[in-house]
């Protein structure tokens, strides 16, 4: 398996004792991110919460970390990452948090150390944007929002 970049992590005091992000299997694309809440946090139905990780990441230039939902939370509890995927830019040096939303009809309680999201490290090159007189033709053309979906 190809190894990616090394991501430095600074642990904030409220994350003491929690596991650092880790991959659950050898083929996992996402590393689990844990909740660094000091007490249980209940998200009401259709509510949202900014859940701290207690971690600051040193991401190499040319990469990003994507904060994505955990499929088990979504399937079993209707809880997902609101801005999925959330992007952590390589020059951000604040605490990474997950914006969780509870789309179910029942309250959901986040507990300390619970796996709340997954982190995917991805290349993120900066493109050059240039104004042009015309753009190339494609089979799809200007079709959008469902133009290639159900008939």
Q: Report how far Cα 109 is from the mean position of its chain's Cα atoms.
A: 19
**Residues annotated within a binding site for substrate:** 70-72, 83, 87-89
Return the HEC string of the chain.
CCCCCCCEEEECHHHCCCCCCEECCCCCCCEEEECCCCCCEEECCCCEEEEEEEEEEECCCCEEEEEECCHHHHHHHCEEECCCCEEECCCCCCEEEEEEEECCCCCEEECCCCEEEEEEEEECCCCCCCCCCCCCCCCCCCCCCCCCCCC
């Amino acid at each position: 398996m190809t190894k990616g970049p090394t991501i430095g992590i600074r642990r904030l005091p409220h994350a003491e004792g929690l596991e650092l992000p880790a991959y659950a299997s050898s083929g996992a694309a996402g590393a689990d991110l844990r909740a660094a809440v000091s007490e249980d946090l209940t998200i009401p139905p259709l509510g949202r919460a900014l859940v701290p990780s207690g971690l600051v990441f040193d991401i190499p230039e040319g990469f990003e970390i994507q904060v994505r939902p955990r499929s088990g939370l979504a399937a079993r509890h209707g809880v997902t990452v609101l801005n999925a995927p959330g992007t952590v830019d390589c020059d951000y040096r604040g605490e990474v948090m997950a914006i969780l939303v509870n789309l179910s009809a029942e309250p959901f309680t986040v507990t300390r150390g619970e796996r709340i999201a997954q982190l995917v490290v991805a290349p993120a090159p900066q493109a050059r944007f240039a104004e042009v007189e015309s753009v190339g033709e494609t089979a799809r053309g200007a079709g959008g929002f469902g133009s290639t979906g159900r008939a």
